[in-house]
């Protein structure tokens, strides 16, 4: 069996802990991908030390030179796209057409971050005093800790790692324990791209390592994507330690369909939004809010379409929906079906493990639809991270928006309508970081701000130009060339 290593100081090293864990294919639990380091504190300390050393030089490399390396990383991801897609499907489960998209998101992010290295704009403003110049620069911060979830093994890490490095920081990356091979691939790509040793380090292991990174005094900023439960705890630690953390957490994303919508388009959107990535996206469509005039008809068409989805190993090109990530996630899905039934919602599709033929070897759950869900139910409020869609009836646009907003989360949202006034009202009134018009809740692009309001985030936006706000500090500079003492706010008034 293949044994993998950590990547520290530009070298592939065995964990000092001496421990390893098995990585298993969720579509076929007989397929063991390999043994991956179960690193400990010594390994984290070593990686942080390497990143701290490397920062001394990396921060001084001209930003466009850093950009050239990031651009090369994009080229390598593009060259290896098909091969990496297959590695990713094997360890994460989503179909290969999706994992190709995952890598494409990293390629886009690489090219975008590389191009930003020729901007990274600061502001120059007039001074209130004569013969004085006011400038401001973005400066790198130091060692960045990156902690990510399993569902986008390359794309989501790339949103953090590539801009952080482009801006002159160094990185220690802890991928999810469920997708360590993708973490290894990330390091291979940056190594080949010619990144100097220590600028990027990967330490593989389990959840506890997130705390080690966050608590490490030499890690100055954290980029986190994961559950609200874990994110909030890490946020508390960072509050105590006076450390910046960008939190991208859960979602309970609504999709509203109005009677004037193009119904075929809306159906396509709901199927993709709810069951794409087996519902394991923070942007997944988990609440379908249907206007009362189309409620019954839409459900009928939706159930019909959902039943036709083909489950299976994502390496098979005919498969629509892959497995969930592990046994625990299957149990969570079963638990929510039980909760939904107890709460009085009506199950109209799916609701159990899929065990036909080869499916029995993996963690498959039938795409599931509950109707007549109401806003008091846990089914309505809680993130499940699986292929379970709740359908809710709305009396009007105002009621639909009120329902959309009646949860603690606020990541993505969507409305299908051909009425431009209703679309703009939804854009204005839905409480979410992202709103789609006539498109499902998923499909964020690399060069736009990504993040959520309320329980989803803590005010940061990854992606786009806003990600550089997370990974840089501002340096304000005043240059007085008057050759005399000029006192601001005093001598000029």
CB of residue 325 to ligand UN1, shortest distance in Å: 13
Query: Does an H or E element contain 478, and which?
Result: strand 472-480
Determine if 443 is a binding residue for ligand UN1 (CB under 6 A): yes
Q: State residue 490 phi and psi, 5-degree precision.
A: -120, -55
Side-chain-side CA neighbours of residue 368 (13 Å): 29
Instruction: From the candidates 116, 238, 282, 349, give the one annotated as an active-site residue.
Output: 282
Name the residue nearer to ligand UN1 (CB basis): 34 or 443: 443
User: CA-CA distance, 367 to 309, in Å (whole number)?
Assistant: 8
Specify which residues 370 forms β-bridges with. 347, 390
Determine if 442 is a binding residue for ligand UN1 (CB under 6 A): yes
Determine if 6 is a binding residue for ligand UN1 (CB under 6 A): no
Determine if 151 is a binding residue for ligand UN1 (CB under 6 A): yes
Name the residue nearer to ligand UN1 (CB basis): 23 or 414: 414
Residues 6+ apart with CB under 8 A from 252: 286, 287, 380, 381, 382, 383, 407, 408, 409
Name the residue nearer to ligand UN1 (CB basis): 4 or 152: 152
Tokens of 266: 């809306």
Determine if 228 is a binding residue for ligand UN1 (CB under 6 A): no
Query: Does an H or E element contain 136, and which?
Result: strand 132-140
Let me know if 333 is a catalytic residue: no
Of the candidates 182, 253, 283, 417, which one interacts with ligand UN1 according to CB under 6 A? 283
CB of residue 440 to ligand UN1, shortest distance in Å: 9
CB of residue 444 to ligand UN1, shortest distance in Å: 3
CB of residue 441 to ligand UN1, shortest distance in Å: 7
User: CA-CA distance, 327 to 319, in Å (whole number)?
Assistant: 21
Label residue 244 exposed, middle or buried (CB < 10 Å: 0-12, 13-18, 19+).
Answer: middle
Determine if 281 is a binding residue for ligand UN1 (CB under 6 A): yes
Dmax over CA atoms of the chain, in Å, equals 85
N-to-C CA span, the chain: 76
Name the residue nearer to ligand UN1 (CB basis): 156 or 184: 156
| Contact track, ligand UN1, 156-195, x by CB under 6 A | x---------------------------------------
Determine if 25 is a binding residue for ligand UN1 (CB under 6 A): no
Determine if 221 is a binding residue for ligand UN1 (CB under 6 A): no
Let me know if 349 is a catalytic residue: no
How many residues sit close enough to ligand UN1 to count as binding (CB under 6 A)?
A: 11
Label residue 420 exposed, middle or buried (CB < 10 Å: 0-12, 13-18, 19+).
Answer: exposed
The window from 46-54, 285-293, 344-352, 436-444 that contacts ligand UN1 (CB under 6 A) reads 436-444
Determine if 246 is a binding residue for ligand UN1 (CB under 6 A): no
42-65 as b/e: b if 16+ CB within 10 A: ebbebbbbbbbebbeebbeeebee
Tell me the catalytic residues: 248, 282
| Binding residues for ligand UN1 (CB under 6 A) | 105, 151-152, 156, 225, 281-283, 442-444
């Amino acid at each position: 069996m293949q044994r993998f290593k950590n990547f520290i100081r530009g070298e592939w090293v065995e964990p000092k802990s001496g421990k390893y864990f098995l990585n298993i294919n969720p579509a076929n639990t007989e397929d063991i991908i390999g043994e991956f380091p179960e690193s400990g504190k010594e390994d984290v300390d070593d990686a942080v030390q390497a990143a701290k050393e490397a920062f001394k030089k990396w921060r001084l490399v001209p930003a466009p030179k850093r950009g050239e390396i990031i651009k090369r990383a994009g080229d390598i991801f593009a060259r290896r796209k098909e091969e990496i897609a297959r590695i990713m499907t094997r360890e994460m489960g989503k179909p290969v057409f999706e994992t190709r998209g995952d890598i494409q998101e990293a390629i886009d992010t690489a090219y975008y971050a590389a191009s930003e290295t020729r901007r990274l704009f600061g502001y120059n403003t007039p001074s209130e005093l004569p013969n004085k110049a006011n400038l401001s620069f973005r400066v790198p911060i130091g060692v960045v800790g990156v902690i990510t979830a399993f569902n986008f093994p390359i794309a989501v890490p790339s949103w953090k790692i590539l801009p952080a490095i482009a801006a002159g920081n160094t990185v220690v990356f802890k991928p999810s324990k469920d997708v360590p091979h993708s973490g290894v691939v990330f390091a291979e790509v940056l190594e080949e791209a010619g990144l100097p040793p220590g600028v990027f380090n990967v330490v593989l292991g389990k959840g506890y390592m997130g705390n080690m990174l966050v608590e490490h005094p030499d890690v100055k900023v954290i980029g986190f994507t994961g559950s609200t439960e874990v994110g909030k705890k890490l946020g508390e630690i960072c509050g105590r330690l006076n450390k910046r953390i960008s939190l991208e957490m859960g979602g309970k994303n609504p999709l509203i369909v109005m009677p004037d919508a193009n119904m075929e388009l809306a159906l396509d959107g709901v199927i993709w939004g709810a069951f794409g990535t087996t519902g394991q996206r923070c942007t997944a469509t988990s609440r379908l809010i249907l206007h009362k005039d189309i409620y019954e008809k839409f459900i009928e068409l939706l159930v019909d379409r959902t039943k036709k989805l083909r489950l299976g190993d994502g390496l098979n090109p005919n498969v629509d929906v892959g497995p969930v990530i592990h046994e625990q996630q299957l149990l969570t899905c079963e638990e929510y079906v039980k909760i939904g039934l107890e709460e009085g919602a009506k199950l109209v599709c799916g609701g159990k493990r899929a065990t036909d033929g080869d499916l029995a070897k993996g963690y498959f759950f039938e795409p599931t639809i509950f109707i007549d869900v109401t806003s008091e139910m846990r089914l309505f409020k809680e993130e499940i991270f699986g292929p379970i869609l709740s359908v809710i009836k709305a009396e009007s646009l105002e009621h639909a928006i009120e329902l959309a907003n009646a949860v603690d989360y606020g990541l993505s949202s969507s409305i299908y309508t051909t009425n431009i006034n209703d679309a703009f009202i939804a854009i204005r009134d839905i409480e979410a970081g992202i709103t789609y018009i006539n498109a499902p809740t998923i499909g964020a692009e690399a060069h736009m701000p990504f993040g959520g309001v309320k329980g989803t985030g803590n005010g940061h936006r990854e992606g786009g130009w806003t990600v550089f706000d997370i990974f840089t500090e501002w340096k304000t500079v005043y240059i007085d060339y008057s050759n005399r003492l000029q006192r601001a706010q005093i001598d000029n008034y």
